[in-house]
Amino acid sequence: MKYSLMGAVAAFTIGASFAGAQQLPVSVQAEYEEGFGYLSAVRELPDGRVLVADPLGQILAAIDLKTGAMETWGREGGGPGEWKQPDAVFALPDGQTLLVDLGNGRLSTIADDGTFLETYPIARGGGNAGGGRRGGGAAGGRRMVMSSPTMLLPRVIDSKGGIYFSARSFGSPNDSTTVTRATLESQETTAYGKVKPQEMRQSSTGAGNVQITPLPMTARDDWAAGTDGTLVYVRSDGYYLEIVRPDGSTVRGPEQDVDLLRPSDDDKVAYLERQSSAGIQMQMSMNTDGERQMSMARGGGRGGDPDINQLEWPSRMPAFRAGSTAVAPDGRIFVGRMVHAGDPSLFDIFDQNGKLVGHTEFGPNTSIVGFGANGVIYITEADMFGLQWLKRVTVG
């Protein structure tokens, strides 16, 4: 069941953090005529088409936003050239594409003509921790070999093929998350900075069982990476950016003065609906031969009407949306602000020194899902039924 966001859209007030910052206009170049179930990352192909992976709609296809033509890549299944739940696509430095195939628990490389090439497991691990440092990507990382299973779910892939992802430890409810870089071929990873994750509550359910429950809408850090290896951390103890450049130098931007919003009931319902539709469900088991088995799926985490009164909510919403930060090829850093349900989506725009230089507004429920040539930004706008509409836009 989908929840409609009730009531008229309130007038949107720009907060104190925008004093002196320029509001940049949005120009829509093209929009696809059909909605998608869920898009988290798209890739612009060299011929101008867009490769999309929709795990809810079971679609992997190259589409032409202007003509509406769609070419399906691969087919559903578990064998060569097949996928079960295509979740995201990323450009690789050799012109190939990396597909995150949740249903098969693997990463697949694809040639620019749609031919499937190699596959690699998402779950990686084994070996002992090691020391030393490595080059490539952002400087200053600590090299290690994974000694326990790690889910290689990419957020960004840099121009050298480095895959950046979050690796969270679960020794206690509020352990930190480590921003990590890996490659497809090696079991070694490079650990970079830590980010504060979503807060958790740990409780005993009896018989020695422990339940860890996420606390909704709690403030947490965000992060992103540029294709040149620049790492951006958006800190939630205040609202400011820490930027680690490829040469290892670090800069901290000024803290932004923002008015935090009080969450309404509509905000709470919308938050739970987003978690339900976009969350990844993961199960791991071991068979009688000691082999580890894993299954993953996107969405389907909550059924029925959410009882918001049964949950503990903060008195104020965070300043920014976790998972919204993106680094454009021109170096601009976009950070999505928390707004009331149904209000226009607001993005702050920072430069490479962490200074606020502008902001822009999109339609409600907008996410940035990719970048293209000549300043192109790909966004999705979700409607009241949960469908996402893909647009190609420019900002500024």
Secondary structure (DSSP) of 60-80: EEEE-TTT--EEE-SEESSST
User: CB neighbours of 337 closer than 8 A, spacing ≥ 6?
Assistant: 258, 319, 320, 321, 346, 347, 348
At residue 5, the pLDDT reads: 30
At residue 386, the pLDDT reads: 87
At residue 297, the pLDDT reads: 72
Q: What values do phi and psi take at 137, rounded to 5?
A: 65, -155
Residue 70 CA to residue 72 CA, distance in Å, equals 6
Sign of CA dihedral 325, 95, 228, 23: negative
At residue 338, the pLDDT reads: 97
User: Would you put residue 110 in left (φ > 0), alpha (ψ -120 to 50) or beta?
Assistant: beta
Q: Do the domain assignments include residue 244?
A: yes
Residue 22 CA to residue 10 CA, distance in Å, equals 22
Helix (H) or strand (E) holding 273: helix 265-278
Residue 16 CA to residue 226 CA, distance in Å, equals 28
| Three-point CA angle 227, 229, 234, nearest 5° | 95
Q: Do the domain assignments include residue 262?
A: yes
Residue 15 CA to residue 12 CA, distance in Å, equals 9
Q: How, if at all, do strands 356-362 and 22-23 pair?
A: parallel
Residue type (1 letter), 17? S
Per the CB < 8 A criterion, the answer to whether 268 and 216 are in contact is yes
The pTM assigned to this predicted structure is: 0.85
Per the CB < 8 A criterion, the answer to whether 176 and 236 are in contact is no
Report, as ranges of residue numbers, the positions in the chain whose pLDDT lies below 50: 1-18, 126-138, 144-147, 172-173, 302
Q: Do the domain assignments include residue 154?
A: no
SS3 205: strand
Per the CB < 8 A criterion, the answer to whether 391 and 378 are in contact is yes
SS3 305: coil
Q: Do the domain assignments include residue 310?
A: yes
Per the CB < 8 A criterion, the answer to whether 9 and 342 are in contact is yes
Q: Which residues make beta-bridge pairs with 361?
A: 346
At residue 210, the pLDDT reads: 64
Residue 249 CA to residue 234 CA, distance in Å, equals 17
Q: Do the domain assignments include residue 358?
A: yes
Q: Do the domain assignments include residue 235?
A: yes
At residue 138, the pLDDT reads: 46
373, two tokens = 């040539």
Q: How, if at all, do strands 280-286 and 292-298 pair?
A: antiparallel
- What's the distance, Cα to Cα, between the start and end of the chain in Å? 38
Q: Do the domain assignments include residue 373?
A: yes
At residue 279, the pLDDT reads: 63
Q: Do the domain assignments include residue 16?
A: yes
Helix (H) or strand (E) holding 265: helix 265-278
Tokens 């021109």 belong to 330
Residues spanned by the domain of 350: 1-31+218-279+294-396
Of 340, 348, 387, 385, nearest to 364 (Cα)?
340
Percent of the chain clearing pLDDT 90 (strictly above): 66
Domains held by the chain: number: 1
